[in-house]
Amino acid sequence: MKKVEDRFNRPIISLRLSITNRCNINCLYCHHDGMMPSNEEMTPDEIYKILNVAKNIGVKKIRFSGGEPLIRKDIVEIIEKTSSLDFKDISITTNGIFLKKYAEKLFNAGLNRINVSFDTLNPKTYEKITSKDYLKEAKEGILKAVDVGLNPVKINMVLMKGINENEVMDMFNFSKKNGLILQLIELMKSENCDDNSFSEEYHFNMGPLEKDLERIATSIKTRKFMQNRKKYFIDNGEIEVIRPMDNTKFCENCTRLRITPEGKIKPCLLRNDNLIDLVGPLRKGFSKKKLEEIFLKGINNREPFYMDNT
């Protein structure tokens, strides 16, 4: 199996495919996975063909995101097709609302793990963040995912000053009780809000919180190929901290390439000026080798968004 690295010696291990821009909630903070608005989507067959090329250049892990991936009626077929390619890991990031309906089918289709964006246990706060009252559905979906055997089930909690920052311990206890891993995510700038005033107003400085976690953790691990994220083991529970903002270590250890819903290679979450069309050539019947060359061009376009210039 090939191992492909970019110009900054970062191996390409994982591919994150945004398979739709559609979503059934509207989170205050959402950065839409850095995608530009578009109604285009790839078919399961096109996704399969793209993944087949990705596999050939050494990608090992696949994550589906969006928009809301479970809004697609063919999501089980997409997972089935992906699973037939024998990747090391297949995962989905979802808001969990349709998980009660789909968790078992997805597990049987070959999905390994799942991340559920779930920022609060408080119904009023949930409604404030998502502008919908689906807290119960999301919570039941999370428990169903554990029940059917998806492992791990991680909770993505974006921390926002004055909104949910005071819920970290409640969320940790909920996670621990139900065998979940809690991921605390730093609020990033988002094109959703005109001038970034939202992320400036609600940005929560995770530094002091991390110091507290360091103090109470029985052990701490750094995940080198996962953007140098820190994992804290506390009282039989786990908290992972994701701090991408102005973080050169995060970028230095990024091993992820992205695909947009309309089938373009996106080398970085935070940029849209260096996308490369992949599904266009695929639809024109380009050979697998030619598609591989396009992938390699995308990888060659990668550069750390936050770079240590010292």
Contact residues toward ligand SAM (CB under 6 A) are 23, 29-33, 65-66, 68, 93-95, 117, 156, 158, 185, 187-188, 190
Nearest to ligand SAM of 47, 57 (CB atom): 47
Joined tokens for residue 192: 């959703």
Long-range CB contact pairs, 263-266, < 8 A, 24+: 263/40, 263/42, 263/46, 263/50, 265/294, 265/295, 265/297, 265/298, 265/301, 266/34, 266/35
**94/175 with CB nearer ligand SAM:** 94
Please answer whether residues 255 and 12 qualify as being in contact, where contact means their C-beta atoms are separated by less than 8 angstroms: yes
Q: Shortest Cβ distance from residue 300 to ligand SAM (Å)?
A: 26
Tell me how far, at minimum, the Cβ of 72 lies from ligand SAM, in Å.
Answer: 11
Q: Which is nearer to ligand SAM, 167 or 293 (CB)?
A: 167
Q: How far is CA 174 from the centre of its chain?
A: 21
Torsion of CA 250, 256, 260, 264, to 10 degrees: 120
Taking the complex as a whole, how short is the minimal distance between the CB of residue 68 and ligand SAM, in angstroms? Answer: 4
Q: What's the CA gap between 279 and 224, in Å, rounded?
A: 31
Cβ proximity of 168 and 209 under 8 Å: yes
* Least distance between ligand SAM and beta carbon 21 (Å): 10
Nearer to ligand SAM, 15 or 188 (CB): 188
CB of 98 to ligand SAM, least distance (A): 10
Q: Which is nearer to ligand SAM, 30 or 59 (CB)?
A: 30
